[in-house]
Amino acid sequence: MDKYMKLKDIPKGQRWEHFWTYYKVQTIIGAFVVLLVAMLVKGVVFKEKVDIYLTVASSEYASDAVSAELSRVLQQYGEDFDGNGDLSVYVDQITMSTESYTVDPEMVMAAQTRLIAQFQDKNQIIFLMDQDIYDYLNYDEEGEDTAIFADLADTVGGSVTPLLGEETDKLYLKDIPAYQENELLQQLPQEMFFVMRREQDVNPKGDEEIAEIYQRSVKMMENLASGTVSELAASAQEA
């Protein structure tokens, strides 16, 4: 059937097949855009107070239980910057195969769009990812390293530095006390690692609010590496 046939000329039993054949990609992209806009509106109107955001990006899916446990554990290492007596860590998960021929290409496109969108959000500073996602983001088409992630020895320093290998933009899960002591978190591959966006990319204009958000992430990374729980978490444990 021709793509531009009038609806009345298409047999009734074949109309959906005709639509899906010629407009599948547009429909999926349109639905994703609507969902993204709805999420943004919800985030503005019904915004929950979140202290730290983390994006988990990998080629393998992590269960909801693991994501919830990761959020719970990270809450112990962040600081209550807004002083409301509560620390909230939001974990967003993006599962994306970098080998597009193995899965539905439209699904890969949607995941790529979500992943790239994280880099437009000033709150999205810390990522937990695997090597496939890192290579996808960090290397251009010629295979050149674009160095989009921060050198953690310079940005965080302190307790993080002794845990870093030759690639100082990566803090591996296997080297973090919280991972070593938690069987549920160990469902995440130990080869995954934390990275941070560079401050000059997150805050090119030197905005004070964004600078404070960035320092929250720096402090949590430092506490996470040293195994130092925050004052808020320590108080809750003593209660």
Same domain, 28 and 125: no
Same domain, 8 and 98: no
Helix or strand (DSSP H, E) at 24: helix 15-45
Comparison of pLDDT for 113 and 48, the residue scoring more: 113
Hey, what amino acid is at 216? R
Same domain, 27 and 120: no
Beta bridge partners of 171: 194
Comparison of pLDDT for 14 and 148, the residue scoring more: 148
Other C-beta atoms within 10 Å of 231: how many?
Answer: 10
Report residue 31's pLDDT band, with 50, 70 and 90 as the boundaries.
low
Same domain, 115 and 218: yes
- Residues 150, 214 contacting (CB under 8 angstroms): no
Strand ranges for 66-138 from DSSP E? 89-95, 126-129
Comparison of pLDDT for 41 and 208, the residue scoring more: 208
**pLDDT digits over 85-97, tens only?**
777 889 999 988 7
Q: For 189-207, give one letter per residue: b (16+ CB within 10 A) or e.
A: eeebbbbbbbbeebbeeee
Same domain, 43 and 56: no
Same domain, 90 and 187: yes
For the chain, the 3-state helix, strand and coil shares in percent, each to the nearest 5, are 50, 10, 35
Same domain, 10 and 73: no
Could you list the residue range(s) of the whole structural domain that residue 223 is in? 48-238
- Whether the predicted pLDDT of 119 surpasses 70: yes
- Whether the predicted pLDDT of 202 surpasses 80: yes
How far is residue 239's CA from residue 232's CA, in Å, rounded to a whole number? 11
Same domain, 102 and 182: yes
Count up the domains in the chain and report the number: 2
Same domain, 13 and 70: no
* Greatest alpha-carbon span in the chain: 74
